[in-house]
Structures are given as C-alpha cells and as structure tokens.
Structure 1
Amino acid sequence: MIKDRSSIESIYKWNIDEMYNNKEAIDVDIKKVESILKEVKNYKGKLGSSKDSLYKALKLSEDASRIVQNLYVYTHMKQHEDTRINENQGMATKIDMLSTELSMATSYIVPEIISIDDKILNEFLESKELSFYRKYIDDILREKPHTLSEREEEILAATSDISGVAENVYDMLSFADLEFPEIEDEEGNKVKLTHSNFSVFLKSKNQRVRKDAFEALYSVYDKYKNTFASTLYGGIKSEIFYSKMRKHKSALEGSLFNDDVSVDVYNNLILAIDENLDSLNKYVELKKRFLGLEEIHMYDLYVPLTDKFDMKIPYEKAQEIILEALRPLGEEYLNIIKKAFSERWIDVYENEGKQGGAYSWGSYDSHPYILMNYHDDLNSLFTLIHELGHSVHSYYSRTSQEYLYSNYKIFVAEVASTLNELLLINYLLDNSSSREETIYLLNYYLEQFRTTVYRQTMFAEFEKITHEKVEGKEPLTAKEFTDIYYGLNEKYYGKSCNVDRQIGLEWARIPHFYSNFYVYKYATGFSAASALSQQILKEGEPAVQRYISFLKSGGSEYPLVQLKSAGVDMEKKESVDSALSVFSELVDKLEKEL
C-alpha cells in the first residue's frame, strides 16, 4: 500500500524547505525579480552605446535568472512531493509565468550583441567587468552567421508553434487515440495491451505471450502507418527547413552546432558500431542457447536470462554498496555522496500523489536534490547511483564555476551518471557470490549496453538516412520508412536473429524521432563513461583527478574539449571501440558462465 507523505519518516524526505521556509520568502524573491526586470528593460537599444550599458544589462539579466532558477526549482520540486495539492500547483504556475516574463524582458540582449560592431565589442570585452562575459558572448557570436535579419527572426519565431505540430499529432495519435487489442497472459487471462504493459509482456518467460503481444501491437501500427509516416515526414521536413534558414549545410550539422560537436563524432559512432556487430550477435546467440530456443525472434530479445534470482536491496544496504562501488573515485567524491545521504538531499520513497520516476535537480544556490521512488531492488540501486552521478557533477560544477558557467551541456550530462553505474556493475560482479547472481548481473548490464549503445545508434543511423533522403528531394512514405528500418534491424541482428517483418514498423512508435539527432548522445555518453571508468580502474589517481577536473568544469568549455581533457577524444572512433571492447569482454564472461 502506498503511504501518505505525512507517514514517511523525515530522514527519507528531502529538506527542500531550507531553500524557502515560508511563502513570504518566496514573495520577497518574486518582487526582487520584478524590480530587476523593470530596470533591465531600460537598456534596450543601448547595448552598443557603451560598455557600461552592456555590462549592466548582462549583470541584471544574470541576477534575475539566478533568482528565477531558485524559485522555479523549489516550487516545482514542492509540487512533485504531492501533485494533488492545489496550492503547490498554483505556485509552480506563477513561477512559470515569471520565467516567461524574464525571457521576454531580456530577449533583446542577444540580437543587440550580435549587431554590435566587432571592433567595438572587442574593445568592450577588454574591460575588467566585461571580460568575465567573454565566453558567454563568444557563444552568442557563434550564432552570428546563422542569425537572420530582425524581421526574418520574427517570422521564424512566429512559426515555432507550427514546427511542433508533427510531434503533437504523433503524441495524440500514439498515446490518446490508438486502441490496442486484448491478449492472453501467462495464466490465460484476457488483458488489454497498452504501451506500459507491452514491455512487461516482452519479458515474459512464455514465448507465446511475447509473440502475441508483439504481433498485436504492430497490427495496430500497421493500420495507421500512413498517418505516422506523414507525421514523421513532416517533422523531418520542418527540421530541414530550419537548418536551411539558419544556413547550415545539413539538418545534422545544424542539430550538432549548439554543442560544437562535429559531424565526425556522429559518423564515427555509427562506423564503430557497424564494425562491432559480431559481439552483439554473439550475445543474442548466447541468449537463444540459454533460453532453449530453436530460433530467436525480435520479440525474444528482452526476456531475462534468469528469473530464479532476485536481489533485495533495502535503501540502507544500497547506501553501503554505493560507497564501496565508488571507492575508486577517492575520498573527496565519497564525502559528497555521504553528504547527500546524511543531509537529506534525497526524497527516497513513493507516496500518494508523488511524481513518478527519478531525477537529480537543484539550483545554483542550493545543493543538489534527488527524487526517487525506491523499491528495494537492483533497478532502484542503479537508478540511485545514476542520479547521484548527476548530483555530484552538479555539486562540483556549481561550487567551482560562477552561475553563468555552471550549467553543463546535455552531451556530457550522462557521462557522470553512467560512469557511476559502470563502477557499480564492476563492484557487484567482483563480489558476486553465486553463478546465478553473476548471470543475473551480466544480463542486466549487457541489456543496458545493448539498448543504450547499439539500439540508440541504430536509431541515430535511421535518422541520418531518412534526413539525407529528404534533403536529396526523395519523398518518404510508410513503405520507405519501413524498408529502411527493417534493413537496419537486419544489419544489426540478422546474423543471429529471425528478423520478423513487423519490426519494420517500430519507427512509428519511437517518440525520439521527433527530437531530431538527439538519441546519439545516449550512445556517446555511455561510450565516454565506459572509457573513463576503465582509465580510473587501471590508472588510479591521475585518471581520477582528470575526471574530477572534468566535473568541475561545468559549462566553461565545450563538451568535446572537456572530455578530451578528461582523457577521451570522442572525435576518434577508438573511443567508441574502447567501450565496445568492454561489451565484448562481458559477453565472453557470460559465455563461460553459461
């Protein structure tokens, strides 16, 4: 039974009220922001007139942003404690509106900076006050070749709502309108298929259940494939339109521009995976053999190798395991983890009305906070150590960088969290006490790797192919999308698996395809973390110090530069090859256990 929040001990609840202990404190900060926004508007049209005007506008904008961040984080975390409380919903909505006001009041700053003559701007940046903003302004100036006239920018801004139509249609069709049929579960009971229970059925030990769920789901997508194809085609066309308007060579280049990531990183990821598909197929062959199947199908890929072993891990035990697993990162790192445990950074257990899932958050002026819904199992242990990775990254970043440069890019965000997971699996395997536990852990990790690196790269390759075809003026219908996607599955799994025709329709149910060229970051982040974790385990202190420096660098440098300083060059294919060699070694280890 799910508890009411009031019945959960305080040691298991985060102490976010130390950010704002009453409504009056919130109101004080709201008034501060409103006052700053009135002042910042006074500098509109004046940024090129003097370095003092530019400095004051930037400083005011920064000050307001910092306070709004604190308000936003607190009110939304408060809402997530119990989403049923109207007062918390209202406060979060109020801060949403304040955040919009901030964006509107400061929207003139970027275009005015871009319009300042380069010579004058460089003179401004020589001053003591403005020199701090040099990287911030350099980031803005990178956009200059891709920034249009004021009128053209207004037109593009006005079309932003239209650009989201494809994704909105996908969401409505997929999650609101689609109706899936009933299937029989393991006990012969009729159960209605849903998005949520589909993944559960694919892990069933009964192959008939897996097959029925697979065929039932894709029979529905088959009926609507033309609509899904039209929607996805529209989404791709939209992305290409904006990249062309911004004068990028391709949609791919335009998507990577913000992170200053070269197209080589994307292409090398795909190339490295293409050259290392044998290990994936060997893993699938081992799964087929262990499950006693004459042939393995696409609907068999997710079934666990063992259901006889189950790890029960209470929260206190999880803390002990995590501190041991992360010992290679040194005492400084461990002391931050201990603070998270002892100073109530973590909201541990589920309660009535609480937001689901897990995340790490916090503001520049708070320590990090973690929302969990802990369930005494292996998955919860991995989730906790994953979120602690984000939290320690944020802690280092915020305590080492000024507010303006404290936010790290999404490209590197998953490195710290994944590296923690990799050290955990290494520790658990080293301390496994039985063959069943070892198989259980290896299967858990290899599935994480397969779905995060191989699967996401296959998605990335699908995006690359489809965008290039549309950029080459080729129309894409349901047939083309399905043929491309089926062909990729054959390439990835064809040596070991019966590639069922229905899998060709999976493109229609992947929401990430509406966030163009995003999924590759999962694979690169995992690969970088894998390479860095191996360096830490083999080199010790020198690798740890490089890694800590990386965590402390926040947003002060571009992602590829940061990772290179840490010890991994993501522009080189060898960095991905290194991660794939770990996968291959663990597949070999699993083979010995089987």
Structure 2
Amino acid sequence: MSKTNKIVTRDEIMQKDKWAIEDLFQNDEDWKKEFEQVKSLCKDLQAYEGKLGESASTLYEYLKLKSEAEFHFERVYVYANEKYHENTANGTYQNLADQANGLEVLLNSAVAFDMPEILAIPDEKIEQFLSENKELQPFTRVIKEITRKKAHTLTAQQEAILADAGEVLGAPSNIFSMFNNADLKFPSITGEDGEKVPVTHGRYITYMESKDRRVRKEAFESVYHTYQGMKNTSAAMFSANVKASMFRAKAKKYENTLEMYLDDTDVPVSVYTNLIETVHSNLPKFYKYVALRKKLLGVEELHMYDVYAPLVSDVEMSYTFDEAKEIVLEGLVPLGERYINLLKEGFANRWIDIYENEGKRSGAYSWGAYGTHPYVLLNYHENLDNVFTLAHEMGHALHSYHSNETQPFQDAGYKIFVAEVASTCNEALLIQHLLNKIEDKKQRAYLVNYFIESFKGTLFRQTMFAEFEMRAHAKAEAGEALTSEELCKLYHELNQTYFGKDMIVDEEIDMEWARIPHFYTPFYVYQYATGFSAAIALSRRILKEGSKAVEDYVGFLRGGCSKDPISLLRGAGVDMASKDPINEALLLFGELVDELEELTK
C-alpha cells in the first residue's frame, strides 16, 4: 500500500488495519451519554466546596468522586480526539473534540477549589486523616502531590478563573493542529520514477531518505517554502503559545515557564540543563559523524536535505507491516514470555491504526483510557524506521498496560519524563538484536548507521529542540518579540552549533521550528533525549543481567506515578539526576561512529 502515490480515504482502509475504537465506545451515542455523565459529576463535585477539611470521610468521598469523574472524562476525551485524528477534516469529530476540550475546562473549573482547601488543612490534621481512615490511604500520593506544590497554588477563586481560561490558553495549540494537519498543503514533486507524487507529513521523511538527491531537495523545498510563505502566521501561533505558558507561570508564581513545566512532572531543572551541557561537551563526536557522512555521500557540500540520505548503498531494508510485527516480536524476546504475549495480543486485536489516509493526524503515538487496552496511531510506510516506530509505540502501549493493570486509576498515569524510556528501550533492544544477527559487512554498516541515526534524531536533535525552546521562552520572558525573523535566526544559529563546519545550514531549515507539533506542549521534547539515555542503560543491563534486570524493569513499568520519576528509574537501575547516563550513551555513540568509519573504508 505504501508504494502507491495515491493517498487513500479513510473508507478505503481495511477494517483489520484500523484500531478497534469500538472497544472504547460502540458509537457516538454512547459517547454522548458518558459526556453528560461527566457534566453531572462536575455538579456533584462542586457540592463539596468548603467542606474538604471537615473530616477524613468527607475528603475521601470527594477524592473518590473526583477520580470517578476523571476516569469517565478520560474516556470521553480520548475517544473524541482519536476519532478526530482519524480524519482531521471530519467536521463531526472536530465538533466532538471541541466539546471534549470544553468539558475539560468545566471539570477543571469544578475542582479548582480542592487544592487551596486541602492546602489549608494543617499538616498534622492531614496525617491524622490518613491514619484514621484506611479508605483514604490509596489517595496518599494525590494528597502529597498537592502539598508539594503549596507555594504555587492560588486561592479557590483564582484557581477557578485560571481553569476557566484553559480553553483560551489552549487555543494556539488547537489552531496549529488545524493549520498543520488539515489546511496546510505542500506542492507535489517529481518522484524517483519521473512521476508526480504528493508531499505529505507522512511521506516527507520517506522522500528525504531517497537515494536521488534531486528528490530530497525538491521535497525539502516543497515543505519549507510552504512554511516560509506562512512564516508570520506560524510565528504568531508559536508566540501566542509561549505567552499562554508565561501567563500560567506568572499566575502560579513560578520564576519562569521552564521551572513550571518541570515541576509539574517533579523533575529538577538541573536535569534539563545537564542534558544540554553534556550534549554540548560531546558535540565533537557528532561533528566527526557529520564529516563522515559528507565523505561517504561523496559531495562537495553537505546540505540539510542530505541529513537522512542513505550512507550505505545496495542495502534494501523494506518491510511489510506483517514482517515488521515479526521482527519486533523477535527483537523483544529478552523482555520475557509475558511481554511477548501481550505484544501478540495487541497485534491480533486491532490496538493499532496502521496506515496513512487523507486528513489523518501526522506522526505516531500511543494513547488510551484506563480500563481499556491502549491504542497506537501509525502512518506506516515500508522502511526500517517504521519498524522501529512500531517497536517504540508498542513500548508506550505496554508501559500503559502494565501501569493500568497494577495501579489504581489515580496512580496509573505515569509522568511524561519516564514515558519515553519504555518506548526507546524497545528500540535499543531491537537494534541490538538485528546487529547480533547480521554478518554481512555492508548490512552491518547499514544497521550501525541506523543506530547512529537514532542517536542523531533523538539525543542530539531533541536536545537542540530543547535548547531552542529554552532560549525562545527566555527571550519572550525578557520582553523580546518572537517574530519570524528572530525565531529563524535562533534556529539557524543552533543548527550551526549542533552540526558544525561541515554542514551547509540552508536557509530553508530556519523554518523547521514551525512544523514541530511538540513545541505546542512546551518543554516536552527534552524527555526524548533523557529517555533515550536511560533506555540505553536499561537495555544494556537487561541483555547483560537477564531475568533480574527484567524483573526490575517490569517493576518500573508497573510503577505508574506511585513515586517521582527519578526514584522510579533508580529502582530500575539508572540515575537520571546525574550526567552519567547521558555521557555513557554518547560514549557508545562515539564507538559506533568509529565502527562505521572502519566498516566503510
């Protein structure tokens, strides 16, 4: 299917290749009933305002009711948005997603009083409540999380106003999603066979991996010239999102947006700055790779559209989706029989929405609601990268599965900081499996380079994104305007810093910031890099130590948010409060570059 030039409609996709969304709700009518149920629960929750400090039983009743409301809301929100993501141009599900966003604001407003009220309860009284009421004890972590943020909690009235503003503050992200997924169209290009082919978000990287430099250059220009034509609109959306973050940070009495977002996941700011500092100190290793790429491609000038070009010729690694599933199952055998059986269950029971269709959300993700199996969205194309995307997203899915299976609802939703660890650990195990199987020198060179590309795309690239976010937010917080010119200038400078003197930083790449969806979830992307570093360490321990390491790792998967992220990872055998895992990962990167150089002599 991926070989055709036509982008199919949703109706043309076979049922077996679509996710089983009916496992969440049979139809829209069932969704509407649960939507109304959440609205009713919001009214019930408001009846507790002013009463939370009365007794342990009252506090328990409220927290139990809130958990019930959030459980049903999650189901409503996930269904509406997953249906919307199937075809972002579908007006019915645009409307349902909008309604779900409005319901989120309503729920947040209904419970806005609880943090100030719980914080007003003296610490000794909280301890008394917890000791005298055993039913309340499962909510211990919820209560501790509220008290941890005491300095950043407003009065009940202020919290309600901030909750009511949620829909407005989220508008830049929603506008970007509509603009980027539904409205933005790229000019077609001439493919390798001389025929006109469409350029989409889903197909862009495939074109950038073409052996034909003309195809790469045309796709590159098709995408970035289109964004260039929308540079002022893009800057306005980006700037509005930063200002929304600044508003929240100021209202919550944080020094800056970075501190606010990291505090939300209970991660020290030093983890973020450690990442950038450690990668900067290791950039000479990356410069060596860039120079090797230039040499192997045999070009006088290395351009940004050469970044994904294959370095090893005459190696075809194309896989149907069925082949991809088998490869992933083989590669993850070290994680044990139960893990493999769960993967098979997901493959057999339509957890995955596999192929691209008109209007479908770009990229890939794993998502779901407590009490129902996870869902994975893909835009599958038949290349090695998409095989790893399958392993990656199923890593997320089985992290959620283990967490939901073990933890109560209120402790099941793991923090974003640890979210990328399980997914990337799967990728690290898979690449090691493939390297162990390959004896052919050229194929080994191909896979070693693929592993290097994983470092480039995850550890180096995401850290550059993280630095861009940090510096862009800092500029806005210093009173500077985030115009398209300023954003492009900053992005250009960072590309020069990260790629070094052997790369021509084409002016088109200056607009790349305008197409990164994760920038609308501020300070998220750094966790890909930290997660990658942790995953490298964990995968090496699993392969070296076997069952004991797997036991510790599965314990981490089951942890949910029952502990802070740094503690959960320490339990699995890696300390992300230090620079060691990042340095160790980059040491491996340097060794891989050296091996590729030897293999390609």
TM-score by length of 2: 0.84
Q: Unmatched 5+ residue regions in structure 1?
A: none
- Alpha-carbon separation, structure 1, partners of 2:28 and 2:199: 45
Q: CA deviation at 1:550?
A: 0.6
**Is 2:505 the counterpart of 1:535?**
no
Which of the numbers 43, 57, 65 marks the counterpart of 1:60? 65
**Is 2:412 the counterpart of 1:406?**
yes
- Alpha-carbon separation, structure 2, partners of 1:383 and 1:577: 25
- Alpha-carbon separation, structure 2, partners of 1:365 and 1:175: 30
* Contact 1:40/1:57, CA 8 A, preserved across alignment: yes
**Is 2:282 the counterpart of 1:276?**
yes
Structure 2 match to 1:580 = 586
Q: CA deviation at 1:523?
A: 1.1
Question: How has the CA–CA distance of structure 1 residues 102 and 427 changed in structure 2, closer, same or farther, with 3 Å as cutoff?
Answer: same
Structure 2 match to 1:558 = 564
Q: CA deviation at 1:338?
A: 3.5
Which of the numbers 447, 450, 458 marks the counterpart of 2:456? 450
**Is 2:292 the counterpart of 1:286?**
yes
Structure 2 match to 1:43 = 48
- Alpha-carbon separation, structure 1, partners of 2:493 and 2:544: 39
* Contact 2:108/2:163, CA 8 A, preserved across alignment: no
**Is 2:139 the counterpart of 1:123?**
no
Question: How has the CA–CA distance of structure 1 residues 216 and 329 changed in structure 2, closer, same or farther, with 3 Å as cutoff?
Answer: closer
**1:140-160, Cα deviation, whole Å (9 max, x unpaired):** 222221122344434444554
Which of the numbers 127, 144, 153 marks the counterpart of 2:150? 144
Question: How has the CA–CA distance of structure 1 residues 439 and 562 changed in structure 2, closer, same or farther, with 3 Å as cutoff?
Answer: same
Structure 1 match to 2:5 = none
- Alpha-carbon separation, structure 1, partners of 2:78 and 2:577: 35
- Alpha-carbon separation, structure 2, partners of 1:346 and 1:195: 23
- Alpha-carbon separation, structure 1, partners of 2:36 and 2:511: 53
* Contact 1:388/1:417, CA 8 A, preserved across alignment: yes
Q: Could you tell me which amino acid in structure 2 is paired with residue 396 of structure 1?
A: H
Structure 2 match to 1:328 = 334
- Alpha-carbon separation, structure 2, partners of 1:222 and 1:78: 31
Q: CA deviation at 1:238?
A: 4.1
Q: Which region of structure 1 is more displaced relative to structure 2, 247-256 or 510-519?
A: 510-519
SS of 1:305's partner is: coil
SS of 1:453's partner is: helix
- Alpha-carbon separation, structure 2, partners of 1:428 and 1:419: 14
Q: Which region of structure 1 is more displaced relative to structure 2, 251-260 or 119-128?
A: 119-128
Q: CA deviation at 1:522?
A: 1.4
- Alpha-carbon separation, structure 2, partners of 1:581 and 1:588: 11
**Is 2:423 the counterpart of 1:417?**
yes
Q: Which region of structure 1 is more displaced relative to structure 2, 504-513 or 551-560?
A: 504-513
Q: CA deviation at 1:257?
A: 0.8
* Contact 2:116/2:154, CA 8 A, preserved across alignment: no
Question: How has the CA–CA distance of structure 1 residues 45 and 530 changed in structure 2, closer, same or farther, with 3 Å as cutoff?
Answer: same
Q: Unmatched 5+ residue regions in structure 2?
A: 2-7
Q: Could you tell me which amino acid in structure 1 is paired with residue 596 of structure 2?
A: L
Structure 1 match to 2:114 = 109
- Alpha-carbon separation, structure 1, partners of 2:569 and 2:321: 33
- Alpha-carbon separation, structure 2, partners of 1:94 and 1:509: 26
Q: 1:298-447 residue pairs with structure 2 within 5 A?
A: 298-306=304-312, 308-342=314-348, 344-347=349-352, 349-350=354-355, 358-372=364-378, 374=380, 377-447=383-453
Q: CA deviation at 1:426?
A: 0.9
SS of 2:534's partner is: helix
Q: CA deviation at 1:466?
A: 3.1
Q: CA deviation at 1:206?
A: 3.8
Structure 2 match to 1:263 = 269
SS of 1:360's partner is: strand
TM-score by length of 1: 0.85
* Contact 1:453/1:526, CA 8 A, preserved across alignment: yes
SS of 2:366's partner is: strand
Task: Flag the structure with larger Rg.
Answer: 1
SS of 2:504's partner is: coil
Q: Could you tell me which amino acid in structure 1 is paired with residue 58 of structure 2?
A: S
Question: How has the CA–CA distance of structure 1 residues 542 and 403 changed in structure 2, closer, same or farther, with 3 Å as cutoff?
Answer: same
Structure 2 match to 1:489 = 495
Q: CA deviation at 1:56?
A: 1.0
Q: Could you tell me which amino acid in structure 1 is paired with residue 555 of structure 2?
A: S
Q: Could you tell me which amino acid in structure 2 is paired with residue 426 of structure 1?
A: Q
Q: CA deviation at 1:9?
A: 7.6
- Alpha-carbon separation, structure 2, partners of 1:78 and 1:178: 20
* Contact 1:348/1:374, CA 8 A, preserved across alignment: no
Q: Which region of structure 1 is more displaced relative to structure 2, 484-493 or 91-100?
A: 91-100
Give the RMSD, CA atoms, in angstroms: 4.0
Q: Could you tell me which amino acid in structure 2 is paired with residue 549 of structure 1?
A: G
- Alpha-carbon separation, structure 1, partners of 2:111 and 2:364: 32
**1:490-515, Cα deviation, whole Å (9 max, x unpaired):** 22112322334554454444444443
**1:48-93, Cα deviation, whole Å (9 max, x unpaired):** 2222221111112223333444455567667777999999999888
* Contact 2:202/2:356, CA 8 A, preserved across alignment: no
**Aligned residues: percent identity?**
44
